[in-house]
Amino acid sequence: MSLADMPSNATPPLSANIVDLVSDDDNDNDDDDIREAIALSLRSTEESSNSSSASKPGRDFEEAQPGYAAEHPKASPPTQHQPEATLPTSIPLRPSTGLFGLDRKAMEQERLARLGKRKRTASPERSSKMASLPSPPSSQPGAAEGIAERPHKSAMLRTATTESKDHKPPLESSIQYPRGAIKRTWAFKHPRTDDIKIEEVLQPLTLNIAVISAFQWDDRWLFSKINTRKTKQIWVMSAKGKDLQEKLLAEADAADIPNFKLHFPPMGGQIVNMHSKLMLLFHPTHVRIVVPTANIRNVDWGETEKDPRTGESWQPAVMENSVFLIDLPRRAESSATDDEALSSFGRELLYFLKAQELGSHVTKGLMKFDFSETAHIEFVHAVGGNHSDQASKLTGLPGLSFAIRRLGLDKVQLLELDYATSSLGTLKIAFLEQLYTAASGRTPTSHGEIPADLLDRIRVYFPTRETVVKSTGGPACGGIITLSRSHYNAAFPKQCLRDYKSTREGVLSHNKMLLARGRLKDGKPFAWAYVGSANLTESAWGVQKVLKSGKEGVLNIRNWECGVVVPVPEEKFMELSLGDEEIPPMSVFKGTVEVPFQYPGDKYSDKQPWFFREEE
């Protein structure tokens, strides 16, 4: 259904005291597995509510989360291992009581106990223990210990200008990324590069308000990173159907979590998933806007489970993601602005938040910050639902096209695309043609020239079965990477597939990254990167056809998604010596994004991709 037809009561209203701030039938097959997986997930959630954690000590916590099964359809459950001299092949499990099945009193006692054991000045490299798992001190670096102690006011207000380049920024509030940056997620037991930890993203010591959206959640893990008594939180979650939403609201209410609210975007009609990942982190000096490819789970952020005997992490990271983040300073009280004065990045972000019905407390709060340093980047979204007329030109693939035109990177002569994805549906050549057209800045359904060698100009990075089996976590960690054998055996453009191998040996990828390189018609080279939640699927980017009358049909988008387009600075191309018909090499992205995969990537040849249903 169109946005105009969405009912006003599709989501529960936000309380004023939460944020105190001055149809296409051909596409049905893409979602058959998702529908079945969600149904299985709901049954699992209902079963878990009728039994205690003691009765199911081996159940993985993430498995009880809404949406888990949609990204983990029929994945083989990991088995518990004891640390040995040889590297184990899966993550050990921890007991669970399901979403919001928390013992708040026990968690608070554990948190205070940890604080009592802290030295007065804790190193940010010290580790933390999960709030739900009391254990000896961990050897895993990078997790914040306790966050209840507030720093001195002067420390809270420090800015990035006081930081030495040779000194690692502390976890206090500071404006570290005034023009934005793309980082890799940190990976335990791998060398640090241009990466970032979840604590460094959150800046928990001065975090006042956190609006966080994700597809999968590990609530206990996130609560171990944020002081719930100080930080107000709104979680934007995927929950289709009033029954499930009411169940989650009741569980959250029973958990008695301070300063906490759930929010569900409109999920009517053919909308299947709220798959977007977005954080709005409000601090005294700035708001940090974060667009990760990661969900709210420890493995997505490079952490690993702890040994049940010692409480220590012993296995290297099994999964990696990417993160875009930008810090916007607070405006002077007299310089408040309106939507029209915002950059296009700011306008599209507000458009997305309003479509999700997050409420004026969030959107008006964002208006108190300065978006002037976002003029060089674009926010791209996919608003779930059916869209026609003007609305169909602002979101999904048409929205990507619109963003490329605003950046002045249309009028393309030559274009190469490299797309890293963690999920593939019924990939069709017609969809790849629309993606290529949109990335060129043209209307996706236009009849512009499509190169005859299109499948040689698009490389899709997805792991082979061999790569997953030989990874650090092994097949047990491959459930989040999804492709159906039946889809692959259909009219699938196999020619464009490349084996995704991380530059970190043994690490699997949950990245969604599109890298574009080319030449404009005036000969000028260009490159840009998309980082966000959208996999290479029609459900994520939308399906739109041209009718027999010649008019564009309805744009149908089944997921909520969001991402950011970041161009490579023009001065980067001055370092290159390119021939007249030569496009920039992949090395041009250095300084803009650390490309996480090996390129150009091995062709599949006689190898098979990773299937999440081996019995098919």
Nearest CA-CA partner of 75 in 293, 296, 294, 299: 299
Catalytic pick among 72, 275, 283, 286: 275
Q: Please state, in angstroms and as integers, the Cα–Cα distance from residue 65 to each residue in 244, 252, 263, 368, 568, following that order.
A: 12, 13, 15, 34, 38
Q: How many CA atoms lie within 13 A of 472 on its CB side?
A: 24
Q: Compute the Cα dihedral for 166, 170, 176, 181 and give only its sign.
A: positive
Known catalytic membership, residue 286: no
Q: Compute the Cα dihedral for 206, 210, 216, 221 and give only its sign.
A: positive
| 8 A C-beta contact, residue 252 and residue 234 | no
Catalytic pick among 190, 263, 381, 510: 510
Residue 551 assigned to a binding site: no
Residue found by looking up tokens 């009849």 in the block = 447
Radius of gyration of the chain from Cα atoms? 23
| 8 A C-beta contact, residue 536 and residue 297 | no
Q: How far apart are CA 304 and CA 320, in angstroms?
A: 11
Known catalytic membership, residue 510: yes
Q: Please state, in angstroms and as integers, the Cα–Cα distance from residue 583 to each residue in 216, 573, 586, 591, following that order.
A: 38, 10, 9, 18
A 10 A CB-CB count for 155 gives 14
Residues facing residue 279 across a β-bridge: 212, 290
Beta strand pairing status for 412-420 and 458-461? parallel
Helix (H) or strand (E) holding 282: strand 278-282
Residue found by looking up tokens 């008006």 in the block = 364
Residue 512 assigned to a binding site: yes
A 10 A CB-CB count for 21 gives 18
Helix (H) or strand (E) holding 434: helix 429-439
AA letter at 311: G
| 8 A C-beta contact, residue 426 and residue 30 | yes
Opening angle at CA 606, ends 603 and 609, nearest 5: 70
In the annotated binding site, the residues are: 277, 512
In the annotated binding site for substrate, the residues are: 277, 512
* Catalytic sites, residue numbers: 275, 510
